[in-house]
Amino acid sequence: MKTITHPKSINASLVLLGLVGIAVVYLSVTGTKVPLLSDPSLAFAVLIVVGMAMCAQGGIGRVAALHQWTHPLSILAYLIGAALLLISAATFLGLKLPYIQSIDQAIIAIAIRSGIKVIVTFIHNRLPRS
């Protein structure tokens, strides 16, 4: 008999990464200078790396483990992730997007979209498995 183990949807590393992401956004928005995050571009890069690590652990990794690639909430998460990558690439390349003209606006845009993606992933993880 073949059994499927369901990976835990929330673990300590996800919570820690989430708290680091929230701290980076807070420090960036308030303008607080911290030795390692004094440059907004570096804070932006840290936020992107933290988001990708969270996605790998609690998002796409879980979808892969459960073979739910075509679930509607997975597809919604892919679209949000694509928007995050587009904003990231445009910001790193110095391109201006509508409503995102500076690195500070990009940090806020990434934070909002990441929060939405976390909510979508949380809802998806709470749905009954078939």
Q: What is the pTM of this model?
A: 0.83
Residue range 22-71, pLDDT digits in tens: 999 999 888 888 887 788 889 999 999 998 898 887 777 777 777 888 88
Q: How far apart are CA 20 and CA 92, in angstroms?
A: 21
Q: Where are the domains of the chain?
A: 12-126
Contact (CB, 8 A) for 117 and 59: yes
Q: What is the pLDDT of residue 58?
A: 72
CB-CB contact of 67 with 5 (8 Å): no
Q: What is the pLDDT of residues 78-104, one digit of tens each?
A: 999 999 999 999 999 999 899 999 999
d(Cα 102, Cα 80) in Å, to the nearest integer?
A: 20
